[in-house]
Amino acid sequence: MTNLFTYLLFFSLLGFLATFLLFQYVFSIYEIDYEITKQTKNNLVEYSITAIPLNSFGKKAPFRQISVDFSFQNDDNVNIVSNSNSSINFNIISEKEIVVYVKSSYSQNPSILRIN
């Protein structure tokens, strides 16, 4: 009877430790990476910025969604095509440098992205 209790306690603690480590290193968000893509459609250049949550291994955190706010320094040079919680698509009207401020709940200060 004591061997059964010992095995049960050992595997329970091992399962708890594995669950804790899995949550801390795989499912927790450690950093946010921003992917900027450029597409040309009908002589218009469309940019897309997507926020990707990263775990401690530098991979996309599974089953996690983030919400970010995008703001532009020069609003008059930007035509926003679509905007969602974690991505934005926009066109640049003039050939000036565009500065994008991206703020999320996982960052204290906004990230600054410069697009030429």
pLDDT (tens, 9 = 90+) of the chain, 116 residues, equals 678 999 999 999 999 999 999 999 999 999 999 999 999 878 788 899 999 999 999 999 999 999 999 999 877 888 899 999 999 999 888 778 889 999 998 889 999 999 88
Question: CA–CA separation, 95 vs 90, rounded Å?
Answer: 14
Residue 37 structural domain:
29-115
Q: What is the CATH number of the domain that holds 56?
A: 2.60.40.10
Amino acid at 113: L
Q: Cα angle vertex 72, ends 70, 73, to 5°?
A: 145
Q: How many domains does the chain have?
A: 1
Question: Is 96 a domain residue?
Answer: yes
In a domain, 89, yes or no: yes
The pLDDT of residue 62 is 93
DSSP 8-state secondary structure symbol assigned to residue 60: B
Domain-embedded: residue 70:
yes
Tell me, yes or no, whether 18 lies in a domain.
no
Calculate ∠ Cα 47-115-56, nearest 5°. Answer: 85
Q: Would you say residue 62 lies in a domain?
A: yes
8 domain residue, yes or no: no
Establish if 86 belongs to a structural domain: yes
81: in domain: yes
Cα separation, 104 vs 31, in Å, equals: 11
d(CA 15, CA 29): 22
